Amino acid sequence: MMIWITFSSNILIFLTALILLKIHTKRIISKQFIWFIAFTGISSGVAAFGHLSIIDERLANSLLLASRLFSLGSIYLFTNGSLDFANFQNNKMIRVANLVLFLGMVMFLVWNNQFLSVLIYGIIGFLGIGLSTYFSRMDNSIQGRNKIVRGIIILSFSALVFAIFKEDHYFLAVNIGHVLVSYSLIFFAKGFVELNQDVKFSNSPSSSKTTQQIED
Q: Which of 50-59, 75-84, 99-108, 179-188 has the lowest mean pLDDT?
A: 50-59
2-215: which CATH number, 3.90.1690, 1.20.1070, 1.10.3470, 1.10.10?
1.20.1070
CA-CA distance, 26 to 183, in Å (whole number)?
21
The mean pLDDT value for 173-192 works out to 94
Integer Cα distance of 49 and 118 in angstroms: 18
What string of H, E and C letters represents the secondary structure of 15-35? HHHHHHHHHHHHHCCCHHHHH
Q: Report pTM.
A: 0.85
User: Residue 207 pLDDT > 80, yes or no?
Assistant: no
pLDDT score, position 214: 37
Q: Say whether pLDDT at 84 is over 90.
A: no
- Quick: pLDDT tens for 126-136: 999 888 888 87
What pLDDT shows up at residue 115? 86
Whether 18 shows a pLDDT value over 50: the answer reads yes
Residue 144's pLDDT is 83
* Distance, CA of 63 to CA of 47 (rounded, Å): 7
pLDDT tier at 211, thresholds 50, 70, 90? very low
**39-48, 67-76, 83-92, 99-108: lowest mean pLDDT where?**
83-92
Mean pLDDT of 42-64: 91
| Cβ(154)–Cβ(180) below 8 Å | yes
30 pLDDT exceeds 90?
Answer: no
Mean per-residue pLDDT, 97-101 = 92
If pLDDT is split at 50, 70 and 90, which confidence band does 212 have?
very low
Q: Is the pLDDT higher at 165 or at 96?
A: 96
Residue 154 CB neighbours (<10 A): 18
